[in-house]
Structures are given as C-alpha cells and as structure tokens.
C-alpha cells in the first residue's frame, strides 16, 4: 500500500513532524491537553533503539510523577527531561510566548491561566517544541503583549534549554537561538508558502527552496492508527473520535 493511498490526515502529518523533532530523547514530558505531542511521543518511543520514557501529565497510567509540578520541575532542573512542549496565546518571532494577557496587562482584552512554571522549564529543558494549532496573525505575532517565557537570554545567563522549532497546521519553523529568529523548514502538504506568509505576523528566514513536509511512512501510520490511537482514546477520547474514528463509547 502506497502512502498516497492512505488518506493521511493533517493531524497525522503534525504527529510525524513532532516525532522527528523529538527522536533520540531519553525522557519526554507532555503537559495537559496535548494529544498531538502525546501521540508523537508514543510513536517516537516505539522506534527508540535505546529506550525512551514518556510522562504525560494528563494520564496517571503514563506519568512517572506522583507529586505534580514540583517533581516535574525538580527533574527538569536536574537535567532529567530532554523534551517538553509549549503553546501560547501568542508566540512571536523571537520565540517568546505569552500565556497571560492580550492587550495591556493592567486592562487586558483577555486574561488567561498564566505560565505554570513555563519560564523555568523554558530555561531547563534542552529541547522545547513550540506547538500552535492556530496559524494566524493574532497568534503568531511580531511581538507578544506579555512575555510569560523568553525565547532567548543574554550570554551571561545560565540556560540549557529553549525552542528548537515551531509546529503549526501550515508549516514547520526551525529556531536559530544565536540569531533569535525562526527559519521556515517546510510547508505541510496542501499548503503554500504564500499562505504561510499571509498568516504569520513575524518575519522569518527562508531557504533557497522550501520543501514540502514529508508525510508519515506507511509503517508509522499503521502503528499510529492500530496501536497508538486506542491508547490515546483512553486519555484524549474526543481527539481519538475526531481523528481516528474511535467512538467515545469505546474509550477508556
């Protein structure tokens, strides 16, 4: 069966993109409400030659941490977590994320839950994958209204971690920490460079030729649909129903 005949869904493309970014990690931690990063982590775990630990905050069965955030932060500080995922109400071209407010801080248009230690984890976890399910000028902005966690730091500040890339429904950006700037890595199947430009509020670098994001292989698709999707249904039942067609009655 060829990949072209497998009717690959956009979410499956994103899962494959994230899996490639996190390959080779020893310990991947995934926050709440993150089904695509979780699926990618499970997939990467299956193909890890040296073994890989996956900790999902949303799943007691798949979470090594029994003491909530404190244990997560302690492990990150000790260098025992290799990958974590961040989103944000806003993400700007310098890799800064906003989880607090839109508009003026004292009189915001909207206020959100806040950072939950993201500034700390952004510094301590070597590979941070930024992930946004909305690619628009209101979410990917020139400059965030509030810096909940900075994408880069001055040279004299200790920092082992930071963003390695930004995954959106349209494309993959790689992040250059030295230049504090994104570079377009690939555009997902069915989308165009002009679409990315029109919907991105920050400037970014371009290669001479912008490739199309590779789809997941037939082997990975079968594993994802037949083995990993039922596991996801117990944790993210609505996502599994929408993407993989697993009825809510079969979840859990």
List pLDDT tens digits, range 46-94. Answer: 999 888 999 998 888 888 887 778 899 999 999 999 999 999 999 999 9
Predicted pLDDT of residue 70: 86
Q: What percent of the chain has pLDDT over 90?
A: 84
| Burial of residue 14 (number of CB atoms within 10 Å: 0-12, 13-18, 19+) | buried
Question: How sure is the predictor about 6, in pLDDT bands with cuts at 50, 70 and 90?
Answer: low
Predicted pLDDT of residue 65: 85
List pLDDT tens digits, range 124-180. Answer: 999 999 999 999 999 999 999 999 999 999 989 999 999 999 999 999 999 999 999
Three-class SS state of 234: helix
Q: Are 182 and 202 in contact (CB under 8 A)?
A: yes
Q: Are 69 and 97 in contact (CB under 8 A)?
A: no
Query: CA-based diameter of the chain, in Å?
Result: 57
Domains in the chain, ordered, with CATH? Answer: 3-250 (3.40.1080.10)
- Rounded to the nearest 10°, the torsion over CA 99, 103, 105, 106 is -150
Predicted pLDDT of residue 61: 87
- Using the 8-state DSSP alphabet, how is residue 214 labeled? P
pLDDT above 80 (res 251): no
What whole-number distance in Å separates Cα of residue 173 and Cα of residue 206? 10
Predicted pLDDT of residue 35: 96
């Amino acid at each position: 069966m060829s990949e072209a005949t497998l009717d690959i869904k956009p979410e499956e493309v994103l899962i494959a993109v994230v899996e490639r970014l996190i390959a080779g990690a020893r310990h991947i931690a995934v926050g709440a409400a993150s089904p695509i990063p979780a699926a990618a982590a499970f997939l990467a775990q299956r193909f890890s030659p040296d073994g890989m630990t996956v900790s999902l905050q949303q799943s007691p069965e798949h979470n090594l941490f029994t003491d909530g955030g404190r244990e997560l932060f302690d492990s990150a500080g000790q260098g025992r977590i290799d990958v974590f995922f961040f989103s944000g109400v806003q993400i700007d071209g310098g890799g800064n994320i906003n989880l607090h407010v839109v508009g003026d801080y004292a009189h915001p248009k909207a206020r959100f839950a806040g950072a939950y230690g993201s500034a700390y984890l952004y510094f301590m976890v070597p590979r941070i994958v930024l992930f946004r399910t909305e690619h628009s000028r209101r979410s990917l902005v020139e400059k965030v209204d509030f810096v909940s966690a900075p994408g880069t730091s001055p040279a004299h500040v200790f920092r082992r971690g930071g963003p390695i890339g930004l995954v959106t429904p349209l494309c993959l950006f790689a992040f250059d920490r030295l230049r504090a700037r994104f570079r377009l890595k690939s555009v997902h199947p069915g989308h165009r460079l002009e679409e990315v430009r029109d919907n991105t509020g920050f400037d970014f670098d371009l290669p001479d030729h912008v490739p199309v994001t590779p789809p997941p292989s037939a082997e990975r698709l079968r594993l994802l649909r037949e083995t990993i999707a039922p596991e996801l249904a117990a944790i993210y039942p609505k996502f599994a129903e929408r993407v993989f067609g697993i009825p809510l009655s079969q979840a859990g």
